[in-house]
Amino acid sequence: MTLVSVIVPCRNGEPFVADAVRSVLAQNVDLEVVLVDDGSTDTSVQSVRAIGDPRVRIIEGPRTGVSSATNAALPHLRGQLMARCDADDLYPPGRLEWQCRWMNEHPQFDAVCGRFLMMTRDGSEVSEVAEGAIAEEVTAELSEGTTRTHFNTWMCRTAVIRALGGCRDYFTCGEDIDLMLRHAPAHRVWYEPRTWYRYRLHEGTTTHSMPSNQRVFLEQKAREFARQRQQTGADDLMRGAAPPVPEGGNCKPSLAAEQVQGVLLGRAWKEHRSGKKREALSTGVRACLTRPANFKAWRSLLVLALRPAGDNAPS
């Protein structure tokens, strides 16, 4: 039976981490969970130990961020297949069973990925995310610097992640984008339009605690490096060039509520274009109430209410 290893990086994840681990342990596969405690000062570790499941192992992380925390787990993995679950997120039922079976049936592929669902801090659904309703290979688009989903929807071959060197420490954010892109072109990746991850939006995430200009800069660099590798076979980091740094001062981190509102408005207009006027209005109201002081959101809702179902969003 194929063993699946799931890495759970954690720093002060006490409100959510026990539920995250339980959602992994509920998967119907032979598995192990390697929780990397990356310097927690709350009761995260105690809450996971209290689960009392022998399939969970806890190791200490280097306390230098999610990239190195993920890498710290790699030597400890016993499974031929691996995945990651962040400490504040969840796996839906049946995810690992389906992916494990697919990977065993398709040895020519080194990873399979899918859709994910955004949710609020309390677990309420925001919207499903990922481009494409057709199952297809995505290796070529990864070579060009295009990603369509979150790394935590992926199941990978452990040997391949080790061969790639895991995450690169340069990426204090966007390490998952960089790791996905470095699979191509040598390692084939398949996309399946199934929802395999529940991603929680809240202020404690790296995305919403890092200055927004740094986050955007690193994500752009990951894609730029992919294009460099496609053109020359190597990127600047691989060639030993001085790591690029973002210019200008730090911008404020983006707010989780701002992202939730934007995603909900996008969902409302998608429902509107599909002719689902009532659902669109309901989603639009929910978006406005997420940040009631944002006049632009209310204006968007008004336009949505006045336009016939099927019309596009305003530019």
> Confidence class of residue 74 from pLDDT cuts 50, 70 and 90?
very high
CA–CA distance, 125 with 200 (Å, rounded to integer): 9
The tokens for 255 are 């707010």
At 3-17, the pLDDT tens digits run 999 999 999 999 999
| Least confident among 180-184, 193-197, 229-233, 256-260 | 256-260
pLDDT for position 20? 98
pLDDT for position 131? 75
The pairing of beta strand 189-200 with beta strand 3-10: unpaired
* Residue 78 CB neighbour total at 10 angstroms: 12
* Residue 57 CB neighbour total at 10 angstroms: 15
Q: How many residues does the chain have?
A: 315
Spatial neighbors of 137 by CB under 8 A, at least 6 apart, are 109, 188, 189, 190, 191
Inter-CA distances, 256 with 159, 210, 246, 273, Å: 35, 12, 22, 26
pLDDT for position 38? 95
Q: Classify residue 143 by burial, with Cβ atoms within 10 Å: 0-12, 13-18, 19+.
A: middle
Q: What's the chain's average pLDDT?
A: 90
pLDDT for position 245? 85
CA–CA distance, 61 with 73 (Å, rounded to integer): 8
pLDDT for position 300? 85
Choice between 186 and 132, residue whose per-residue pLDDT is larger: 186
Q: Are 103 and 190 in contact (CB under 8 A)?
A: no
Q: Does 208 score more than 60 pLDDT?
A: no
At 47-72, the pLDDT tens digits run 999 999 999 999 999 999 999 999 99
Spatial neighbors of 127 by CB under 8 A, at least 6 apart, are 117, 118, 263, 264, 266, 267
